[in-house]
Amino acid sequence: MSFIKKIFKEDDTDIFSGDENQYYEIQNVEEMTEEGGAKMILLEPRAFSESQQIADHLKKRNTVVVNLKRVTSDQAKRIVDFLSGTIYAIGGDLQRIGGGIFLCTPNNINVQGKISDDNEEETHDNDDINIEW
């Protein structure tokens, strides 16, 4: 009998197969929000160190919109790389929805549609639009 077979019984399941929800912090529905649904979080990190906070929101099955316009280009790349790993681990999705703005979703959120790239069509600079509530 080989060394591996001595350690693991033949009837043991594959140790590398895991539950797709193993990286989520699953909570009771009542604890997620007062209404019982997931949240959408809007964040503007100012440093790479805030990446873990974004990942924690994703682990709680919240959708996160991340605006990277307040960090340097190098920090933005590091944040996107970190979030890409987090999203891969939880089976979620990462989409660019604007210049430096990303939509991060866990696997319980289905996003339909796509935001076109600025270079694909004629676009207009509408930065002067100001909406007051």
What does the pLDDT look like over 57-78, one tens digit per residue?
999 999 999 999 999 999 999 9
pLDDT above 80 (res 85):
yes
Domains along the sequence of the chain with CATH: 38-110 (3.30.110.150)
Q: What is the pLDDT of residue 39?
A: 87
* H or E stretch at 93: strand 93-98
End-to-end CA distance of the chain: 73
Measured CA to CA, the distance from residue 109 to residue 92 in angstroms comes to 8
> What rounded mean pLDDT belongs to the chain?
79
* 7: DSSP letter: H
Q: What is the pLDDT of residue 29?
A: 45
Highest mean pLDDT among 14-18, 23-27, 68-72: 68-72
Rounded to two decimals, the pTM is: 0.68
Task: Tell me which of 13 and 44 has the higher pLDDT.
Answer: 44
Write phi, then psi, for 31 (nearest 5 degrees): -80, -20
